Chain A
Amino acid sequence: MRARALAGFAAAGIGLSAVPFFGPPAFYESFLYLVFHWIVLAVSWNILSGYSGYFSFGHGAFFGAGMYTTATLATKAGVPFLWTLPAAALVAAVFGIALGAVVFRLPRLRGELFALLTLAVTFVLATIVLNTPIDGGPGLYLSAVPLPAIGPSPSSAFYLLGLALALTTLWTAREIQRSRFGTGLFAIHDDEDVAEVLGVPTYRYKLAAFGLSCGLAGIAGGIQAMFISYVTVGETFSIAVPLNVVLMSVLGGSRHWFGPAVGAATVTALLYAFTAGDYAVAGRAAVGLILILVILFLPEGIFGELIGALKRRRVSVTPAIGTADLPAPNAARPGKSEGQPLLEARGLSKAFRGVQALAGVDLEVRRGEILGLVGPNGSGKSTLINVVSGHFRPDSGRILFEGCDLAALEAHRIARTGIARTYQIPRPFAHLSVLENVAVPAMFGRDAQARADAEREARRWLAFTGLAAKAMSLPGELNLHQRKFLELARALASRPNLLLLDEVFSGLTHAEIDDAIRLIREIRARGATIVFVEHVIRAVLELTDRIVVLSYGRVIAAGDPRAVMREPDVVTAYLGKPRV
């Protein structure tokens, strides 16, 4: 697959780079250069904003940083043009990473706030460039900078540079989409918290994607500086750049590496289709109308719809995998004796704005057991799971898991130690297929499997949970029962040592509960240790070896399920004090 794609890219590269040697009119070369230019900007924008959903409105800033780097180095320092391009990439990338290093630490700066922030950064940068000797107002003039003789004519030189950069960018975007990195970014797009808990190093991934995205835009800016040969603040940092880039990506389809390229080519071609002087105004209206029609009738983007249609036509072939092939969840770490503590919590506390959700919880989970975590609403059960899985950091206390303190670890590192969890209300990645949903933890969990292996693993767990037939569906097409089982399959796919189940049974019918009980028994039989939070007392009594009762953030009882449930404190906690 990859070799074929590489051959395809090479063929496209060789074929297209031969064009200038047939001596076409320079206009076609320049036009195609502009197509390549916008392809680079749109595809590079898409690496962060399309894949991970961090909608940047600041692509103009990084493009502009590259433009001014090349312009400054080439005119003021006499650096040869080609040598300024790596510098342009570097400046833009460093600028992006520095910004990201601050912004990505603040989990609430997502969505429109991220868009606003990047837009504001563009204005700030423009003002600085305008009022300092970098530009100062008159603009930078590059026509005295020698253009290296890359092709037969100056237009061919730009054409070839643009082509090389466009192919590089497309290849980068393609490789990212198909790699672990890309899968992580798509998971971040749908649900960043879940992605982190499943083992995706979200912070580093976002930073890397931002850096790459900005660096590529920086090179495009460097070449464009030379192409227009007169760089001014007004033209460079105008809102037109981010608007166009967003337009192109969405028009083409932002969920595929090739989509923005289709959009870029379409929009650039549209621009040239209506430049006749007599119909300039009508042309503008026509472009608007075409955009509206395309968006209305192809909401996933031109290329997105195409891919969708192809996928629908292709019948998914599911390899027959029986549950017999299943490895034990913790097959990789066989046999320490049962009964030893696997997880120990000591003095765990967590408060939210004055509400003490956990008030010094001490707890141990023994290897191989099923531990039921019960207690009335608001007693701290879910908080406990959230703290153990790294979703929240505890205010104080320690969590020892196989000798390592989890309290100080980021959530994705906790996932890699072999802990997996489910969510009470299923939180699947909405835009990933059921199969991909389950493959994510296999790729990012303890074993960090390659994609193909992870998918094989995922299919096993889908078969195990009875979802094999739904592998290629989107989670939105599943019913609640199936979504709960998807949660389960996703938690199992990382082959955890410790499985944290948050109310798997709530909302299920009797028959479905029976199903689920059978599944959990089987999971345990394969060697996993399970902690589960549950209100369905029948399931608790049937399944658990031991239970721990929480009330107001404290452990009020622990031990054999039936005995504990009869303790007066527990009865009081659930039902209130009996009136005498």
Chain B
Amino acid sequence: MPVANRSILAGLGALLALGLAAQGAPAAPAGPPVRIGSTLALTGPLAATGLVHKIVGEIYVEQLNRKDGLLGRPVEWVLKDDQSRPDLARTLYEQLITVDKVDLIMGPYATANILSAMGVAQRYNKLLIHHTFGTPSLAKYDMQFPAGGLAGDPDNTIPKLVFDALAASGKAPKSVAVVTSKFPSVQFISLGAREAAKKRGLREVAFLEWDFGNRDFGPIAARLKDAKPDFVWVGGLGLEGNLLIDAMRKIDYMPPLHFHLFPAPGPLLKAPGGENALAATTFEEHPPFTDNPVAVEFIRLYHERGAKAGLPDTSVENQSAISYSSWQTLETAVAGARSLDDKAIAQWLKRNHVDAIVGRLHWDGPFNYIYGTDLYKVKQNQKGKWVIVWPKEFAAPGARLITP
């Protein structure tokens, strides 16, 4: 009996211990909060994506505080609305640093605003981790660290990635049309695509550039229909790709293959005519990415918060994943440097790498980017779901690029 009793007791004890652990095992963070400041485009033309980054940041800060915060201290996120304006972003970062006196800063959303923040960070020797800077060659500050998975020369790497994917599909296109918005961070990558196509011996049947903000895509669609390319490279930002697809459908035309550089993924997924569209991404909700429990937990939380915020599309993809990865970078670097000192953290980042949900990030190339490689993959809209089709090792189980 005593044995039995002991074993029961032991079992009870174990249960109790488990319960306690579930309740309080991670020491709750204590002390004055670590304040992290940033701005996001919460209103204005960029607000659609700004909201994604806001939700991700809130999730991450909550997760941090449920563990042991940063260096044992709780974390407070000071978020301001830059209204999608670079001049406002600049002054708000100055406010965060010189008036609110935050300990650390994180980057805002989109190239122009990040550039503004970078200037401020440089003047105050602050570390700047950011996720959506589209023109790496303009990042001339030593303590800025891109966590968006882009290479230092995306105008080479992304076209190479896309044309490699097409070549491997077995039905490589022979002719190409490059159409692009004249939006700074999109246009130069599209020009790189032209070069890449030429090098690979593809015949360019059309090259068209439009003014960002163009509303009438009918004539561009009609010209594409006339040119009959095997493959269309769409250097569109946000909804532009959708507008072009709509316009092409209206004249009963769809190119056999089309790739979209920085689309709004939700609308493109649902757009009639968006089937088999290709796009670039760093992350999708399928293996191998979901083999990582951190990613799985994040996906769960994002679905929950996204639905609560009223988002029409709550799946995790490129924007939300690189946003999460940039917070992971900050947490890992602070822990690694065991300091909140900007210089110490920057030193650590220079010498180490971070395994984020989008993959391994490191910063040893020019402009602190990785030269010649990136974390981008090619995804395709297959039956109403985005699946990665290239490179093979990241492809969704059983998925391959569908060619007509």
Contact = CB atoms under 8 A, between A and B. Distances in A.
Interface of A: 25-28, 30-31, 34, 127, 130-131, 137-139, 141, 143-144, 153-155, 224, 227-230, 232-235, 271-272, 274-278, 280-281, 283-284
Given A27-B99, A271-B88, A284-B43, A230 B116 contact: yes
Contact of B42 (A144, A234, A277): A277
A227 B87 contact: yes
A277 B53 CA distance: 12
A27 B98 CA distance: 6
A25 B99 contact: yes
24 contacts: A25-B98, A27-B91, A27-B95, A30-B91, A131-B182, A137-B182, A141-B138, A154-B123, A155-B123, A227-B87, A227-B90, A228-B86, A229-B115, A229-B116, A233-B182, A235-B86, A271-B88, A276-B79, A276-B80, A277-B79, A280-B42, A281-B43, A283-B81, A284-B43
Interface in B95-143: 95, 97-99, 112, 115-116, 119, 123, 135, 138, 140
Contacts of B95: 25, 27, 31
B211 to A, nearest CB: 6
A276 B98 contact: no
B183 interface: yes
A131 B182 CA distance: 9
B54 interface: yes
Contacts of A275: 39, 80-83, 88, 92
B188 interface: yes
Contacts of A277: 39-40, 42, 54, 78-81
A34 B184 contact: no
Given A26-B98, A130-B211, A280 B43 contact: yes
B355 interface: no
Nearest to B89: A228
Given A138-B188, A234-B183, A34 B42 contact: no
A137 B40 CA distance: 24
B140 A228 contact: no
Interface residues of B, number: 40
Given A141-B138, A229-B119, A224 B91 contact: no
Contacts, number: 103
A273 to B, nearest CB: 12
Interface in B186-235: 187-188, 209, 211-213
A244 to B, nearest CB: 11
A228 B81 contact: no
A235 B43 CA distance: 16
5 tightest A-B CB contacts, nearest first: A277-B79, A25-B98, A280-B81, A280-B42, A27-B95
Nearest to A139: B184
Nearest to A154: B123
A224 B115 contact: no
A230 B209 contact: no
A493 to B, nearest CB: 49
B94 interface: yes
B90 A30 contact: yes
Contacts of A278: 79
B303 to A, nearest CB: 22
Contacts of B54: 277
Interface string B1-44: 00000000000000000000000000000000000000110110
B140 A27 contact: no
B43 A232 contact: no
A21 to B, nearest CB: 16
A137 B209 contact: yes
A139 to B, nearest CB: 5
Contacts of B80: 275-277
A114 B59 CA distance: 52
A138 B181 CA distance: 11
Contacts of B116: 228-230
B40 A27 contact: no
Contact of B213 (A131, A228, A234): A234
A34 B83 CA distance: 15
Interface string B132-166: 00010010100000000000000000000000000
- Which among B39, B43, B79, B182 has the highest number of chain A CB atoms within 10 Å? B182
A154 B78 CA distance: 25
B94 A130 contact: no
A235 B211 contact: no
A580 to B, nearest CB: 75
Contacts of A30: 90-91, 94
A569 B318 CA distance: 94
Nearest to A284: B43
Contacts of B115: 141, 143, 229-230
B394 to A, nearest CB: 31
Given A25-B98, A277-B80, 12 more contacts: A25-B94, A28-B99, A34-B87, A137-B184, A137-B187, A138-B187, A143-B140, A153-B123, A271-B83, A271-B88, A277-B54, A280-B43
Contacts of B97: 26-27
Contacts of B88: 271, 275
Contact of B211 (A25, A127, A232): A127
Contact of B112 (A26, A34, A131, A232): A232
A278 B40 CA distance: 11
Contacts of A280: 42-43, 81, 83
A227 B120 CA distance: 11
Contacts of A131: 182
Nearest to B112: A230
Interface string B341-381: 00000000000000000000000000000000000000000
- Which among B54, B91, B92, B98 has the highest number of chain A CB atoms within 10 Å? B91
Contacts of A138: 135, 184, 187-188
A226 to B, nearest CB: 11
Given A27-B95, A130-B182, A228 B90 contact: yes
- Which among B42, B43, B187 has the highest number of chain A CB atoms within 10 Å? B42
Nearest to A279: B81
Interface in B381-397: none
Contacts of B85: 235
Contacts of A144: 140
Interface string B264-301: 00000000000000000000000000000000000000
A436 B140 CA distance: 59
Contacts of A27: 91, 94-95, 97-99
Contacts of A228: 86-87, 90, 116
Contacts of A274: 81
Contacts of B184: 137-139, 232
Contacts of B92: 275
Contacts of B43: 280-281, 283-284
Nearest to B180: A137
A138 B235 CA distance: 14
Contacts of B209: 137
A227 B97 CA distance: 18
Contacts of B183: 137, 234
A199 B209 CA distance: 53
A227 B83 CA distance: 18
A59 to B, nearest CB: 16
A48 B87 CA distance: 27
Nearest to B40: A277
B404 to A, nearest CB: 32
Contact of A224 (B40, B87, B140): B87
A137 B212 CA distance: 10
Contacts of A137: 182-184, 187, 209
A233 B94 CA distance: 25
A295 B168 CA distance: 64
A174 B82 CA distance: 34
Contacts of B40: 277
Contacts of B83: 271, 275, 280
Given A26-B98, A137-B187, A280-B43, A34 B81 contact: no
Contact of A281 (B42, B94, B213): B42
A31 B90 CA distance: 10
